[in-house]
Amino acid sequence: MSGIVGYVGRKQAGPIILEGLRKLEYRGYDSAGLAVGSSRAFHVRQAAGTLRNLQAAVRLDPIQGTYGIGHTGWTSGRANLADPDRTSRATHSGIIVAVAGKPSNLAAQRAKLPNALRQSARTDSEMLALLVGSHLENGVSLEEAVRRATAGIRGSCAIAAISKQEPGKIVAARLGLAAMIGLGKNENFVTSDVPAILSRTRDMIQLEDRDIAVLTRRGVLVTDWEARPVSRPVHHVLWDPLMAEKSGYKHFMLKEIFEQPRSIRETVLGRLNEESGKVVLDELGVTPRELREISHLTVIGSGSSWHAGLIAKAMIEQLAHVHVEVEYGSEFRYSDPAIDERVLSLVISQSGETADTLASQELAHEKGSKTIAICNSVASRIAHTARGAIYTNAGPEMAAASTKSFASQLAALYLFAMHLGQVRGQLTPAGSMRCARGILGLPGLVETALELAGRCERIARQLAHAGRVLFLGRGVHYPIALEGARKLQELAHIPAIGCAAGEMRHGPTAIIDADLIVVVIATVDPAHRSSQLRYERIVAQVRELAARQARVICIANQGDRRISEYAHEVIPVPRTHELLLPVVELIPLQLLAYHVAVLRGLDIDQTLDVGRSVSSN
Ligand code: BG6
């Protein structure tokens, strides 16, 4: 995913923009560029490959100027900033445009250009610069030219533009993709992603869709798509800038795996009365009375968030006795769901920007269903569109593959299930206290599970060259089997399948042989009857898998002697309640996928993340 950064103030803009682009590296890119202006000229530097190449270009040919914009992007290494000479030749106006995300109908806009220019635009930035320039020639301001040029643009992007004719001004526009304005003292910033400017300011404005912002050193003016001045709330972002850094870890993903005790604590903090076990969700936006009137829930998500939805189903049905349907965002958005105002929809999304999930949320609203966002990004479209939200407060998740946000989603969903059970009279005070003790103890159990990192790194060597890996789980552990398989696919590019263990006999048993590695989730909560019944079946299956020469790796309870009799490797995790075990057994699966990917020399943090924020097919 590409990203943009802009600065206007008294300081040299170049170093600030480069620092911001470095914070966006995790989003993946293959080229980067920046343009810095002074009262007299623009300096443009751009380079294919990593930011180091751009920094070298700037060192080789230094730039001066107190305002400017830059971006990282996927342009197959081509120049990715509009070249002012090319655009000035084309439009005599010297405009630079930086684009984050992907406009979806730029080709159709080409027809709006004068014939002489139609073929000259090679990248999205140049196309937009030419469009803006063609309006500037009518003598309008840069912000009006941007408004007119983007009026017909569709897709999900954020842009920033500067013009030689209006030095000291940056114009930013939000066209779907998040765009943040950072407010400073005699300086202001624009970015598509908070971490890029967090070390410079914590006071930020989230532009709304189609907003246009004009930034100068003295201030920021925001107008809507009809050029009406609007006031947008200023968020004081509490994220610790260091959380947006690797802090000594080799990859963001490893850092975020180890941040999970903290992120779970942050999710629970202030939402649970430790004496009574009562849950308080201030931003839910749905009253206890409305919660008592719902007929059932729909839970919508994509990727790991959909796996969290499957676990939410077990939590809500067991703690609140309300039926739950779980839907993929990519399926629900194209369906004709039989839901109405009596159905409450939970929309799960770390980024709050995944197009399929957002489109499904809008469909739920069309059907009359209220939605609640389970989200990690306060200023995101899904959170903004929802009736209310449970923010996971996990801090910025820089790696594309979700880890701490997934664990925090499960904690948030557990709190919601407790709350729903409490307001509907299904969860007694004693039951509430039992649940409260469970979730309050969770961060400590995750810390214990993280001590398995060395064992997981050793076992990862057995998986690094596996041809195929099967992940098995039953009940609430089945979604974790899916998550483990997803992580191995996404990070290590190994063909991995997650399967409900009880389904083995209906097909997958045919692939069992000495080359197959099977990861089985064999944990159990002895106090939970169905957990015990499932566990007995799992033990029998592990015995059969081993007898058929498959290599079996089990995630099991600490001290489980039975599983050790048959499994080749056992990864022992701490015991807890059945509905909280998924958070604990998740840890070794994340570590396994991470270490296998490292052994295979793959790009951990920059997995090509095409699922979020861009419209799916
Ligand atoms: C995918 C990520 O692209 O998007 C997954 O690789 C993530 O890790 C999925 O779960 C959904 O993203 P979000 O932001 O909607 O939770």
pLDDT reading at 608 higher than 70: no
- Is 473 close to ligand 1, i.e. is its CB under 6 Å away? no
Q: Whose CA is nearest to atom 10 of ligand 1?
A: 304
Sequence-distant (≥ 6) Cβ neighbours of residue 67 within 8 angstroms: 6, 7, 8, 9, 13, 36, 37, 162, 167, 168, 169, 170, 217
What is the C-alpha separation between 584 and 604, in angstroms, rounded?
A: 22
In the prediction, which pLDDT does 77 show?
43
Q: Are 42 and 165 in contact (CB under 8 A)?
A: no
Strand residues in 38-76 grouped as ranges (E): 42-48, 67-73
Question: How far is ligand 1, taken at its centre, from the CA of residue 486, in Å?
Answer: 11
Pocket test for ligand 1, best of 311, 350, 358, 616 (most atoms within 8 A of CB): 350
Averaged pLDDT for residues 225-237: 91
Nearest to 156 by CA among 174, 177, 179: 177
In the prediction, which pLDDT does 132 show?
87
Q: Are 558 and 511 in contact (CB under 8 A)?
A: no
Total-model pTM = 0.70
In the prediction, which pLDDT does 75 show?
53
- Is 541 close to ligand 1, i.e. is its CB under 6 Å away? no
Question: How far is ligand 1, taken at its centre, from the CA of residue 69, in Å?
Answer: 28
| pLDDT (tens digit per residue) in 373-418 | 999 987 688 998 999 999 998 888 888 889 999 999 999 999 999 9
Q: Whose CA is nearest to atom 6 of ligand 1?
A: 401
Exposed, middle or buried: residue 397 (CB in 10 Å: 0-12, 13-18, 19+)? buried
- Is 298 close to ligand 1, i.e. is its CB under 6 Å away? no
Question: How far is ligand 1, taken at its centre, from the CA of residue 596, in Å?
Answer: 20
Nearest to 354 by CA among 389, 402, 414: 402
Question: How far is ligand 1, taken at its centre, from the CA of residue 327, in Å?
Answer: 15
Question: How far is ligand 1, taken at its centre, from the CA of residue 43, in Å?
Answer: 37
pLDDT range class, residue 177, cuts 50, 70, 90 = confident
Sequence-distant (≥ 6) Cβ neighbours of residue 170 within 8 angstroms: 6, 7, 8, 67, 69, 160, 161, 162, 188, 190, 214, 215, 216
Question: How far is ligand 1, taken at its centre, from the CA of residue 408, in Å?
Answer: 14
One-letter identity of residue 16? I
Closest ligand 1 atom, residue 304 Cα: 10
Question: How far is ligand 1, taken at its centre, from the CA of residue 547, in Å?
Answer: 38
Averaged pLDDT for residues 108-115: 74
Question: How far is ligand 1, taken at its centre, from the CA of residue 395, in Å?
Answer: 15
- Is 400 close to ligand 1, i.e. is its CB under 6 Å away? yes
Closest ligand 1 atom, residue 307 Cα: 10
Residue with tokens 């890029």: 196
Pick 539 or 86 by higher pLDDT. Answer: 539
| pLDDT (tens digit per residue) in 494-544 | 999 999 999 988 888 888 888 899 999 999 999 999 999 999 999 999 999
In the prediction, which pLDDT does 86 show?
52
- Is 356 close to ligand 1, i.e. is its CB under 6 Å away? no
- Is 557 close to ligand 1, i.e. is its CB under 6 Å away? no
In the prediction, which pLDDT does 526 show?
93
- Is 304 close to ligand 1, i.e. is its CB under 6 Å away? yes
Question: How far is ligand 1, taken at its centre, from the CA of residue 306, in Å?
Answer: 9
Closest ligand 1 atom, residue 357 Cα: 15
| Structural domains present in the chain | 3-244 (3.60.20.10), 252-450 (3.40.50.10490), 451-617 (3.40.50.10490)
pLDDT reading at 35 higher than 90: yes
In the prediction, which pLDDT does 400 show?
84
